[in-house]
Structure 1
Amino acid sequence: MVFPLYKGYYEEVYNNLYALACYFDNSEDKWVRNHFYERCFNIAKLIKADGGKKEAEAQAHMGLLFEEEGELLEAAQHYEAFHELTQGRIWKNETGQFLNLLACESLVRTYKLLSDRMLENKEYKQAIKILIKASEIAKEGSDRNMEGEAALCLGSAHLAAGEYETALRVLRRYSEIATSMGDDLNLGRAYEAIAKVLQSQGKMTEAIGYLEKAVKIARNNFQSLDVIRACTMLGDIYNEKGQYSEASEYFQQAFSASVELMKMALMDETKVHYGIARAHQMMLTMTDYIETADIDSLNCLLSWKESRTQIKYDPILGKSRRATEDDIYQYPETQEESRRTDYFLTMVSASELEKVEGCFKTNR
């Protein structure tokens, strides 16, 4: 499009159109803002005296326009042009930010969004390809935080694709970046991501070590969401290993952290995990009492049925031991937590107790 009436005044026209776009930059008038952004874009391509700075800015505005509309491929094309025009330049915007750094940030952000869509569609190779480009752009921007986040996304994509060794290499690079910056929050998240890879490889002991460090870092920095994620992962691992006491301990920590946040969805999820782990923990001893099938065991089970206290498991005596009333004790937890555990045990335990009680009556 040619603007003969504006010839010689393109830069002034651009500035006025941009001022109008800024004036209408609000949620209700975005369509007006976008109209002026498009006008700026058309005018900027005619400005030659500034070496392409106005065109670079206009490419950034058009990229934002398409990004907000969810048209990420078009947004990426404009951000790529923005990035290309600013390479090797020390241009700054009106707030003093370097345009090349803004171009890198915009391009990395858009590549991440595109990769998320690809991963949802299980297009792993395409996602990894575009995230490698994002990592390269992030390094160019000389922003270590952006470089670390790009490494996290790339490592997670390799994990989703089942490329575990590559994922570990990339994620360890992420942890190195966080360590060099003294960034505990990203270091904890790096440990969590590495643990996920190790868990997928079946290396549970190593995964536990990384997760324990992640929990410690998260607690020290008051990051409750990170505590919940890491503790839940630890609980899942111990639950799979049949170590229900440890699983119960970590699920309880996750539940307590969710209570501090007062997020009902998280509270509901974590208390279910915690209740199941407690039920598993108690069921070991319950099964032992039932299989022992003597008077003392029956009395102990009936006592538990009446009081709904926790049963202490004795892994050394196992089936050969004889239960006594001293084997039952109350955990120092809230009444509400006890009721949650009871819910998981009542249906199974009550029916089993009735069977055992019936057998004893028959034998007598």
Structure 2
Amino acid sequence: MAIVHDWLVTNAGAEKVLSALIELFPNADLFSIVEFLDEPSKKEFLQDIHVTTSFIQHLPFSKKHFRKYLPLFPQAVASFDLRKYDLILSSSWAFAKGIKKDENQIHICYCHTPIRYVWDLKEEYFRNIPSPFYPLAQIAAKYLQQWDIQTSKSVDHFIANSHFVKKRIQNIYNRDATVIYPPVDTTSFTLCKEKEDYYVTMSRLVPYKRVDLIIQAFAKNGERLIVIGDGEERKRLEAMATKNIEFRGWIQKAKVIATLQKAKGFVYAAIEDFGIAPVEAQACGTPVIALGMGGTAESVIDGITGVHFHKQSIEALQEAVEHFESIYDTFDFATIAKHAKSFSKERFLHEMQTFIKEKAYH
């Protein structure tokens, strides 16, 4: 078996899925457009597995600027020689599903999302492109849309990481998909009933995560907020923060767990494909304030494991925090943690194994 992953540069949500797939299929060969993981991340989930990379790995300045070669990514994925494998499993949020295969090979795609920056988040990503390059970017986006639809036809079976993504696969590719939620580490993130008076959010600090909404809402309400994560938006977010808001960057897993366990509530404002962090918080028995759209509409039960708000605005989030405070005594931390178990890694491994046996070895 071959497993094809888009790129390996960080240990985020998609890599948690990849780690579980490697555990399920330890003898599979792994392919990725580039691999620039730091040593701790490599040891954590790749161990001694060799990664076959594409020609992008060896291009000038690719370690820091590999995304600049994005127009070449379709060619990079197509260059992988996968002819000897009966089964190809792609872990794709962009290009991995575009591999070349023969008719006698089976290609199962675990789709984290169709390519966001050429479909639903196109305008948001394009906002940062200098105006002289905008027409060229529009042409590239049109080409990638056509490529994305065309390559979807060579996928034999789609797995979606949420019902939200399943709908997007249907709308964009006109294909059906089976929903298998990503694995959440519910054995490390465990119930704690002793809560302290602070809120926490955790994500990459990039525009679509909308951490700016959370910062602005908490700058107004004065509640203590801890921000875990780093990214291109950090300086801008720190500039708008007040004294009650603390940035911790990326911290060790044990410290993440302890912070989530003791938090009064977890706050999340992104339209997420699934969103593992809000489920990790729930595994700690911590209720969540989340957008009632995307993956968090599925993982957070309004009024039981948290509170939904329905508009990405400071006002809507502020109202949600006030409502959260007013019903806080009704939350049962053990019930919240039990709900998170339905997204466990064990459940993911069982569902993936069952699906692949049925589709590939029937």
- Higher RCO (C-alpha 8 Å, min separation 6): 2
TM range (shorter): under 0.3
Scaled by the length of structure 1, what TM-score is found? 0.26
Higher Cα radius of gyration: 1
Higher strand share: 2
Scaled by the length of structure 2, what TM-score is found? 0.26
Higher helix share: 1
